[in-house]
Each structure stands twice: as C-alpha cells, then as structure tokens.
Structure 1
Amino acid sequence: MKLKVNNVEFAYKSISVLENVSMELNRAEVLGIVGPNGTGKSTLIRCIDHILNPKRGSILLDGHNINKMSRMEIARKMGYVPQNLEGVFPASVIDTVLMGRRPYLGWKNSKEDLDCVLEVLELLGMMEFAMRDIKEISGGQQQKVLIARALAQKAIILLLDEPTSNLDIRHQLEVMEIIKNIVKNKGISAIMALHDLNLASRYADRIILMKDGKIFAVGNPTSVLTVENIKEVYGVRALVKDDGKNPYIIPLEPATS
C-alpha cells in the first residue's frame, strides 16, 4: 500500500496551517512527524485520514485519490488512533475494539469479527481487561485499546496522533514497542505525530521535521535531528549524542540567536 501526499495545503478559516506539504510513506515503515506545537502535525494526520479536507493538493492511496473513496473504503485501509478517548462512547474494552470491524460487516458482529478482536487483544496483552469499562482502565491501557481498535480494522496504514502524549515513561515505551513490532511483524506501515524527539529517534525509520506548516527536513533520525535543525525549528540549544544506533537529544537552553 503506497501513500503519497502531493502539495497539500490546509487552513482553519483564514489561518494557514499546512503549506505545500508533500511526502510518501513506504511499506513496513514507521514515519515520525515532529515539530513545535501548532506546526500542523495533527492536522496533517487528519487530512491523510480524510477527517479534514485539504484546501489544495491531493492524497493518494495506491494511486487513488481519497476524495473519491467512501469513509468505509478509507477505514479498510487506514486506522486512525487519536490522542485520547475524546469522542469514544462509554463501553467495555471488547465492544470498543469491535467497533473497528464496522467497515466490513456493519453493526452485526460475526464469529470472524469476535475472533479478530480476541486475537488483537491477546497481541496487546489486554485480554484480562476485555470486559472492563474503557473509562475505568489506565491511560496506557486506554491507548492500547485505541490501537487495538485500529488493528481490528485490518488497516494497512496506522495513523497515530500523539500516541504517547498522556502516558508515563513506562507506558510510552510499551506503546512504542508495540507499534514498532506490529509494523515489523505484520508488514504494515505507521505514521506517528510525536512531541518527544528521543522517542521519534528511537522508533521511527524516517522523520519529517515540520516548521510553520511546512516540511523543514526529512530523512533518517541522524540526518534530521541535528544541533542546527533543532536550533532553527525549536529555538533551543541542544546536545545531540549517538548511542551507536540513533541520536539522542539533550536540550540545554533557549537559543538566544
């Protein structure tokens, strides 16, 4: 499944958010999108999933413009994982994940649907919470449920909007390991909007660095997460070290010039 974004622009009324954004997603790849608050990371994710409609440009799935695809067709190919449970109705964990099967068989669930959901819950280590109310489990567990719902769609592309923003360090690592392993083992792809540069460096195959609604740099973590780029985009002086695999960033102070 090839995803291609061509010259996308988006604005909220008169406020421009995305300007001339073009990118591609490769098969079995984790693509991280990073940048300061308000730079358009989440907006780009929502445009790709057709939650938002770009002012200009096109988004193609295997050469097909998503503007000409139905909501159900898109949901069979892309699974959107929001930052939190906002907009999710109170329900048990298993019922919430079952909602991911709706693009296939409507509201009537079959044995195949249930088997798919149980398989995903087992994969994410969430079987023991299957009958719990989703509002009564921890933030890390809730995030796993939202990922499980997207996986139950049999999506080929996962779109994750700040999947670790409300999690402690342990749950951040757990969720990122799950995503990386799913991409590796199932041959799907993932796009993640992230705040944490070190998580992006560790888990993303490629990184898009955004500034003011535009793509400032794109490439592997070593080429993108440089002292110069961090200063230019974030206005921060930082040390960038290499652990032999990926760079890690130590922020020092706001840059003065």
Structure 2
Amino acid sequence: MKLKVNNVEFAYNSIPVLENVSMELNPAEVLGIVGPNGTGKSTLIRCIDQILNPKSGSILLDNHNISKMTRMEIARKMGYVPQSITGVFPASVIDTVLMGRRPYLGWKSGKEDLDYVLEVLELLGMMEFAMRDINEISGGQQQKVLIARALAQKANILLLDEPTSNLDIRHQLEVMEIMKNIVKDKGISAIMALHDLNLASRYADRIVMMKDGKIFAAGNPASVLTVENIKQVYGVRALVKDDGKRPYIIPIEPVTG
C-alpha cells in the first residue's frame, strides 16, 4: 500500500505547525521522522491518521483521499501507536489487544479473532502477560501491547508516535527490533516519529528531517544525518561516524553564537 502526503498544512489556533509537508511511504518500508521538540512530528502522524484534520493539502492511500473514508475504513488500513497508554480503565492485556479487531466486528469478537490476538501476543513475547491488568505491567510491556493492538487491526501501515520515548535502552532496542522484523516478515510499512537519531539511522530505510514544521531534508540515513544538517536543525555540533552500514551520531556540544 502506497501513502502520499501532498502539501499538508496544519495550525493550532492559527499558529502554523505544519507548512507545505509532502512525502511518500513505499510498501514494506520503515520511514523515520526526526526533528527537535515542537517541530511537528507528532502532529504529522496524527494528521496522517486523521486524528487531526489538516488545514489544507491531501493524504492519499493508493490514490484514495483518506478525508473521504470513515474512521473504520481508515482503521482497517492504518494502525496508530501512541507514545504511551494514558487514562486506561482496568482491562486485561488480551482485552486491550482485542480492541484492535473492532474495525471488523464492532464490539463482538469470535474464536478466529481471539486466535489471531493470541498469535500476535506470541509474536511480541507477551503471552505470559495476556491475563494481566494493562495498568500493572511495565512501560516497555505496555508499548508492546499498543503495537499488538495495532497489529490486530491487520493494517498495511503502522503509525508510531515516538514509540521509544519512555523506554530504557533495552526496551527501546526490543521495540525497534520487533517493528523491523514485523515490516520485513509481514510486508507492511511503518512511519515512526523518533527522538533518537541513532535509532532512526539503524532502523529506518529512509528518514525525513523536520525543522519548524517543514521538511528540511529527506533521503537515506547517510544523506540526511550529516554534520551540517544536525547543526542547522538541532543547533548541535556532532560527529557522524560510519560503521560500514549506517551512520551513527556522537553529540559534542550546543552551537553558540
């Protein structure tokens, strides 16, 4: 499934947040969106999923404008993974993941749906937590539950809003490895808004770097994550090394003056 974002603009109370944003997501691809805080990464993810309605521009799924789709139609094609679970009523892990089947069955589920949810939990290594209360497991485990719920939608595209922002290093790597393997094995695509440039470099096929609500650079990790781009966008002097596969970044100091 091909996704195209064409000249999207968005504003909060007349304050521009996204300006003339255009990009594409190819089938079986991980696209990383990076940029400083407040640059519009999360807003762009939410506009793509129609949680927010762009002021102008269009978002197309296989040349179909998603503004003309129902909420359920969108949910069958795209799964949204927020940064964290907030304000959740007591519910088991398995019931939370079963909610991902709602776009197909309303509020009722059958054996086939349960079997698929168990398959997804097994894939994410979460079977032992299936009957645990969602509020009683760790942040890393909760993040896996959110991914499982999105996978239960059988969506072709996953939208992840800073999926590692609240996780320690081990859980960051676990979540990113899971997503990389899911995209590869299931042939789906993913867009991830990320803070960590090294995670973006390691796991994204292409990177979109944003600054002040606009796309500053886009391309493969080596072409985007350059010393000059990092200086211009983040105001940081950094070393960029290459291990023969992907660049990795060593921040040195803020740029002053």
TM-score (norm 1): 0.99
Structure 1 residue runs of 4 or more that deviate by more than 2 Å after TM superposition: 87-90
- Whether the 8 Å contact between 2:35 and 2:209 is mirrored in structure 1 is yes
- Whether the 8 Å contact between 2:235 and 2:254 is mirrored in structure 1 is yes
What is the 5 A alignment of 1:153-172?
153-172=153-172
Question: 1:94 aligns to what?
Answer: 94
Q: Distance in 2 between matches of 1:105 and 1:38?
A: 37
1:215 aligns with 2:215: yes
Q: Distance in 2 between matches of 1:194 and 1:214?
A: 16
Q: Distance in 1 between matches of 2:47 and 2:159?
A: 11
Question: 1:119 aligns to what?
Answer: 119
Amino acid at match of 1:202: R
TM-score (norm 2): 0.99
Amino acid at match of 2:121: L
Structure 1 vs Structure 2 CA RMSD: 0.6
Amino acid at match of 2:44: L
Measured after TM superposition, the shift of residue 176 of structure 1 is: 0.1
Question: 2:31 aligns to what?
Answer: 31
What is the 5 A alignment of 1:157-236?
157-236=157-236
Question: 1:143 aligns to what?
Answer: 143
Measured after TM superposition, the shift of residue 144 of structure 1 is: 0.2
Measured after TM superposition, the shift of residue 87 of structure 1 is: 4.3
Amino acid at match of 1:242: D
How many residues align? The count is 257
Measured after TM superposition, the shift of residue 89 of structure 1 is: 2.9
Q: Distance in 1 between matches of 2:88 and 2:60?
A: 28
Q: Distance in 2 between matches of 1:68 and 1:107?
A: 24
What is the 5 A alignment of 1:43-82?
43-82=43-82
Question: 1:12 aligns to what?
Answer: 12
> Deviations 1:106-147 (Å, cap 9, x if unpaired)?
111111110110000000000000000011001100000000
Measured after TM superposition, the shift of residue 90 of structure 1 is: 2.4
> Deviations 1:166-194 (Å, cap 9, x if unpaired)?
00000000000000000000000000000
Q: Distance in 2 between matches of 1:230 and 1:89?
A: 41
Q: Distance in 2 between matches of 1:15 and 1:38?
A: 12
Q: Distance in 2 between matches of 1:241 and 1:76?
A: 41
Secondary structure, counterpart of 1:142 in structure 2: helix
Secondary structure, counterpart of 1:249 in structure 2: strand
- Whether the 8 Å contact between 2:159 and 2:191 is mirrored in structure 1 is yes
Measured after TM superposition, the shift of residue 14 of structure 1 is: 1.5
Measured after TM superposition, the shift of residue 86 of structure 1 is: 1.5
Amino acid at match of 1:193: A
> Deviations 1:22-78 (Å, cap 9, x if unpaired)?
000000000000000000000000000000000000000111111100000000000
Question: 2:253 aligns to what?
Answer: 253
Secondary structure, counterpart of 2:10 in structure 1: strand
| Structure 1, gaps ≥5 residues long | none
Amino acid at match of 1:224: V
Q: Distance in 2 between matches of 1:120 and 1:206?
A: 27
- Whether the 8 Å contact between 2:88 and 2:135 is mirrored in structure 1 is no
Amino acid at match of 2:15: I
Amino acid at match of 1:138: S
